[in-house]
Amino acid sequence: FGFSAKTTLQLAQSLYERHKALTYPRTDSRALPEDYLGTVKQTFEMLADSGMGHLAPHAQTALDNHYIRPSKRIFDNSKVSDHFAIIPTPQKPHGLSEAEQKLYDLVVRRFIAVFFPSAEFMVTTRISKVLNHHFKTEGKVLVKPGWMAVYGKEAAEDVEGAKDGDKGQNLVPVREGETVRTESVEAKGLKTRPPARYSEATLLGAMEGAGKLVDDDELREAMQEKGLGTPATRAAIIEGLLTEKYLLREGRELIPTAKAFQLMTLLRGLAVEELSKPELTGEWEYKLAQMEQGKLSREAFMTQIAAMTERLVKKAKEYDRDTVPGNYATLQAPCPNCGGVVKENYRRYTCCGADGNSEGCGFSFTKSPAGRTFEVAEAEAFVRDRHIGPLDGFRSKAGWPFVAEMTLKYSDEDKNWKLEFDFGDDKNAEETGELVDFAGQESLGACP
Ligand SMILES: [Zn+2]
């Protein structure tokens, strides 16, 4: 639906608190308490009777076929901590907003589907023979819909973003001896595409599953079912990154900013990259579990944390803004002011004098004007030509994208060359200060 994580949590909270239609939403449990079978049956009866045309028949089917049975997959006390999975309550909701209804439907659909039997597929490799050419198709044919019936058509495409020719897609069933009719033949030249950007939904999923990225077995085990953050804090973490301008929201996509890349360069440069990796969380979860089992004392853990903090602060103090180490470029084009060597550093391209290792003449410009980071080749061309553009991908302070040209201009005041945006419009008026003459123009009518 394109809801943000924050909005989703707010809707779930309202469905819980105000409408009493869903259970407690701030949970990461996916199981129900073992004594909940009766309540679940009541809820199914309410749903079957609810008149929600798209869901009631499935609830009725589940009741008629006795699908609601005790099963360790669903009812498991060991997988329930303070709270259990988010499910509808036996209370029929009234007066939901459109957004609340959408979220409620989503939870109810999943709740009903969980009790349905498995969907059955026939995994198929099909060789179609056309003239003397053999074409291989891999996929599956749906035999029994099971729980997928509750989801209707949507579930048929359960390989996300599946395209024709992908493995695992659904195939049309064929009869024995059925012959191929070749309607058209088309050769397609395709290119691979980079992975899609994260949306809030996929980023939440990635945070939840971050443990899978950890190589170490023990740490991965410790992070299992934990991920980064908790269900209650993940939405706020993403909002925080947006507020602090590490991310921009464009439609559903989340786009990392120059500030975000700069931070990663900084962490790598300071050799404290662990702050950017899920291993750190894994390690802490592991140690917390050891404390729980009495294998590690609180004092020992806190000593380690203090030592780590000290190391981080010491590292951060060792460098000032422009000396953070990194894999930086040296430009071929000479400094426009003194002819010296121009080098990239953490934040800027800076003149480093004739030998490339001294203070230089003071010529320097930012690597990321208006939120867009120069490619090295662009910086090269910019210093050489003293002009570049138009380039797109700039962002105003309010976050709007814009296109601009940039020039290096000599400033008498600074006695050096400076980066300036050049929007090209009204250049004459700006320079001459002359007013535009409207005398010869026809009137459009009276001002409303
Ligand atoms: Zn210089």
pLDDT digit string (tens) for the chain, length 448 residues: 788 888 999 999 999 999 999 999 988 888 999 888 999 999 999 999 888 888 898 999 999 999 988 888 899 888 887 889 999 999 888 889 999 999 999 999 999 999 998 888 878 888 888 888 888 888 777 778 888 888 875 555 554 444 554 555 677 777 777 888 888 888 888 888 888 899 998 999 888 888 887 778 877 777 776 788 887 888 899 999 999 989 988 888 999 988 898 888 888 888 888 888 888 888 888 888 889 889 999 999 999 999 989 988 888 888 876 778 888 999 999 999 999 999 998 889 999 999 989 989 999 999 999 988 899 999 999 999 999 989 988 888 777 888 999 999 999 988 899 999 987 655 444 444 455 566 667 777 888 7
Number of other CB atoms surrounding residue 350 within 10 Å: 21
Three-state secondary structure call for residue 344: strand
Question: Are 139 and 170 a contacting pair, CB within 8 Å?
Answer: yes
Q: Do the domain assignments include residue 442?
A: no
Give the residue numbers annotated as catalytic, written as ranges. 24
- The answer on 230 and 165 residing in a single domain is no
Q: Do the domain assignments include residue 289?
A: yes
Q: What are phi and psi of 9, to 5 degrees?
A: -65, -40
The CATH number for 238's domain is 1.10.460.10
Question: How many structural domains is the chain composed of?
Answer: 4
Q: Do the domain assignments include residue 20?
A: yes
Question: Are 29 and 80 a contacting pair, CB within 8 Å?
Answer: yes
Parent domain of 251:
200-318
* Whole-number Å distance between alpha carbons of 366 and 332: 18
- The answer on 132 and 226 residing in a single domain is no
Instruction: Tokens for 446, please give them.
Output: 């009276």
List the beta strands (DSSP E) in 71-132. 120-130
- The answer on 149 and 210 residing in a single domain is no
- The answer on 161 and 100 residing in a single domain is no
Q: Do the domain assignments include residue 40?
A: yes
Instruction: Tokens for 143, please give them.
Output: 């035999």
- The answer on 233 and 146 residing in a single domain is no
- The answer on 106 and 13 residing in a single domain is yes
Q: Do the domain assignments include residue 163?
A: yes
For residue 379, how far is its CA from the centre of ligand 1 (angstroms)? 15
- The answer on 217 and 162 residing in a single domain is no
| DSSP output for 10-44 | HHHHHHHHTS--B---S-----B-GGGHHHHHHHH
- The answer on 142 and 84 residing in a single domain is no
User: Where among 92, 115, 138 does a domain terminate?
Assistant: 115
Q: Do the domain assignments include residue 331?
A: no
- The answer on 307 and 228 residing in a single domain is yes
Q: Do the domain assignments include residue 194?
A: no
Question: Burial level of 351, CB count in 10 A (0-12/13-18/19+)?
Answer: buried
For residue 334, how far is its CA from the centre of ligand 1 (angstroms)? 8
For residue 339, how far is its CA from the centre of ligand 1 (angstroms)? 6
Distance of CA 42 to the CA centre of its chain: 38
* Whole-number Å distance between alpha carbons of 334 and 408: 13
For residue 337, how far is its CA from the centre of ligand 1 (angstroms)? 5
Question: Are 207 and 230 a contacting pair, CB within 8 Å?
Answer: no
